[in-house]
Amino acid sequence: MQPFEREDEGAYGRIPSERLRAFTKALWNALVPASGACASVQGELIRANDRLQGEYYREGMGNYYEPGTNANGGPQSTYACAPRALLVFVLDTLVENRGGGLDDDDVAFFQTTRLAVESDYRTRLRINELVYQEEIDGRELTDAEKTELERLESAEGRIPWEDVLKRAERCIANWCIANPKLVDRQGNAIEERGVADVSHIFEPPPPPPKCSRCAGRGWLPPPDRSSFPTMCSCT
């Protein structure tokens, strides 16, 4: 199957190509259970990016940037939150590039994003803390805090969410094309919902055999010159 190109992602604010959406949906239907995580890397990539897209477009990544606390009352780990753990899984898998389905530019993009995960998260937490300072403490920001907020909001190294999620959808599809045999996170061959190889999803079904009566024309010739053709029962 022909890999997906950058044009399939859809420009900013636009949906991906019909071909990419149909392919992703076919993989989802084949691999993703009604609830819970997938056993296969292929299925979990599809599920994870869908969850992250939902978090971005419906929640504005509010759950992703939720601070939370650990069992000891300290700040929650970057990887303890489900959306952040899903993002790290997607990025690490695409950067590893098993099967070589991604080009160097895509791998470099995801490497850069992966390196920004921790700093982006901490920066966003501090921005939220400053933005809601008045509600929390009942006071306005000091000049120093206003300066800090401006610096943080314009800082480089933030995650460009729409770019990441659109590119990930295309690259996940290409990763699955390069790795049609299902594997778990340890690289072992497995089955997911009775499927061990998704190659059949990449290939269009063979055309049906031609009808023996009409040879695929859809109509039958008249028995004599005074009669008219008739529709074949296969149509």
**Residue 1 placed within a domain:** no
CA-nearest of 53, 73, 74 to 64 is 53
**Residue 139 placed within a domain:** yes
Residue 47 has pLDDT above 90, yes or no: yes
Alpha-carbon gap, residue 128 to 65, rounded angstroms: 9
The per-residue pLDDT of the chain, averaged, comes to 88
**Residue 127 placed within a domain:** yes
> Domains in the chain: how many in total?
2
**Residue 36 placed within a domain:** yes
Span 81-93, mean pLDDT?
92
> Is 133 found in the same domain as 38?
yes
**Residue 22 placed within a domain:** yes
Q: How confident is the model at residue 111 (pLDDT cuts 50, 70, 90)?
A: very high
User: Would you say 199 and 178 are in contact if contact means Cβ atoms under 8 Å apart?
Assistant: no
> Is 200 found in the same domain as 101?
yes
Range of the domain at 58: 6-204
Residue 118 has pLDDT above 70, yes or no: yes
Range with lowest mean pLDDT among 19-33, 116-130, 210-224 = 210-224
- pLDDT (tens digit per residue) in 131-170: 887 677 777 888 999 999 999 988 877 899 999 999 999 9
> Is 163 found in the same domain as 96?
yes
**CA distance from start to end of the chain:** 30
Span 59-87, mean pLDDT?
72
Span 180-203, mean pLDDT?
92
- pLDDT (tens digit per residue) in 205-222: 566 778 888 887 787 888
